[in-house]
Structure 1
Amino acid sequence: MNDTLLLLGFATTPLELVSFVLALITVALNIRQNHWAWLFAIISSAAYGFVFFESRLYGDMGLQLLFIAISSWGWYHWLHPKSGVPVLPVTWLTPRGWLGSAAGWLIGFLLISWLLSSTDTDVPHADGFLTAGSLLGQLLLSRKKIENWIVWIVVDILYVGLYIYKNLTLTAILYAVFVVMATIGLLAWRKAAPAAPDAMVLK
């Protein structure tokens, strides 16, 4: 059902291929600030959860479950912003938001790495660092913070190396494409945001 197949010379599985396509659609819709991106994010996360389980990337597998919860929350907030405006605006983090985000990434890294050390994964620290970073990126995305794209650029570059190491070649290619798409997203959202970076405090 999910046997290995060759695609353009790369080894993959039908499930990884489906996850690949869904993830591309998700990011493309996020760049356009289309709320249907969250639906594709939920489906893609569920599919990738199984892919990562088979590769013993338990941090990434657990992350997909969190992504599903955050995507549901983000979808609601994109459609029902508390500010009373019809659409949640794109905004920048304040210095306080930057500090809180960095601290959250560090704490998440230490906690997740510690938890993964008790499993049979061979990359607890890399998996923990990138899992924590991905969680931060998704949270910032759900609040339409421009900095989410900066986090994703850093995380996606590092994920390329991790997935090559885990022989998830197609997913490595996907994350290389994500680096380009995140850069496009950063540029597009900067045009849509207020000039002042202190327009909204991270909530």
Structure 2
Amino acid sequence: MNDTFPLFGFATTPLELISFVLSVATVLLNIRQNHWAWLFAIVSSAAYGVVFYDSRLYGDAGLQAVFIIVSFWGWYSWLHGGAQGQVLDVTRLDRRGWIVSLAGWAAGFVLLSWFLKTWTNTDVPHADGFLTAGSLLGQVLLSRKKVENWHAWIAVDVLYVGLYLYKHLVLTAILYAVFVVMAAIGLRAWSRVAR
């Protein structure tokens, strides 16, 4: 699954291509607030975990394992996380939620960057740490159906495009460029229905 082949003039692998398709399906289902998105998220995260590990993006590889765990929680939360165990509604963060979210991103960045620089052979510990922390925040906010998850994803996805181009993961860079557009669509759709 890791033998490279040419696709539209750049090299990719079957596993990266499968991960790409599953990831697009996940975000499309998230935009529509369809709980089956979580199943696609679990499978695509497992596949991308292998792709990122092979590219020495250990923060991203580890993040995929966390995404799998959070996806089970998110799936349950969407179906039973509302008041009295009902379906969760889309809501917005209050001021305290924004402060906690940004502080969590900053703390995660510092800890993950230190860990990656100290304990792995990655050549991009700070970029990997920053984007991994931001992705964790986006995933937690998505799991709680917060509109602001889309803000986090837009910021992270724009930066991921550059990182993946640097790591020669061209198909994944294209995916994250598509994610930027999809996140903007998600932000608009969820903003309309937010309480």
Alignment-mate amino acid for residue 138 of structure 1: Q
SS in 1 for 2:83: coil
TM-score computed with the length of structure 2 as normaliser: 0.98
Alignment-mate amino acid for residue 107 of structure 1: A
- 1:34 is aligned to 34
Larger deviation: 116-125 or 76-85? 76-85
Distance (whole Å) between structure 2 residues aligned to residue 10 and residue 72 of structure 1: 34
Higher relative contact order (CA 8 A, sep 6+): 1
- 2:10 is aligned to 10
- 1:201 is aligned to none
- 1:187 is aligned to 188
Alignment-mate amino acid for residue 193 of structure 2: A
Q: Residues 73-152 of structure 1: matches in 2 within 5 Å? A: 73-84=73-84, 86-118=86-118, 119-152=120-153
Distance (whole Å) between structure 2 residues aligned to residue 13 and residue 169 of structure 1: 11
- Report the CA distance between 1:82 and its aligned residue: 4.0
Relative to its length, the structure with more helix (as a share) is 2
For residues 77-136 of structure 1, the C-alpha deviation after alignment (integer angstroms, 9 at most, x for no partner) is 111124126321000000000000000000000000000002110000000000000000
Cα root mean square deviation, aligned: 0.8
Distance (whole Å) between structure 2 residues aligned to residue 84 and residue 185 of structure 1: 27
Distance (whole Å) between structure 1 residues aligned to residue 23 and residue 130 of structure 2: 21
Larger deviation: 75-84 or 131-140? 75-84
- 2:174 is aligned to 173
Alignment-mate amino acid for residue 160 of structure 2: Y
Please, which runs of 5 or more residues in structure 1 have no aligned partner?
A: 195-203
Distance (whole Å) between structure 2 residues aligned to residue 33 and residue 21 of structure 1: 18
Please, which runs of 5 or more residues in structure 2 have no aligned partner?
A: none
TM-score computed with the length of structure 1 as normaliser: 0.94
Distance (whole Å) between structure 1 residues aligned to residue 82 and residue 149 of structure 2: 20
Alignment-mate amino acid for residue 171 of structure 2: L
Of all paired residues, the percent bearing the same amino acid is: 72
Distance (whole Å) between structure 1 residues aligned to residue 93 and residue 61 of structure 2: 28
SS in 1 for 2:84: coil
Alignment-mate amino acid for residue 130 of structure 1: L
- 1:69 is aligned to 69
User: Contact 2:82–2:89 at 8 Å: present in 1 too?
Assistant: no
For residues 17-45 of structure 1, the C-alpha deviation after alignment (integer angstroms, 9 at most, x for no partner) is 00000000000000000000000000000
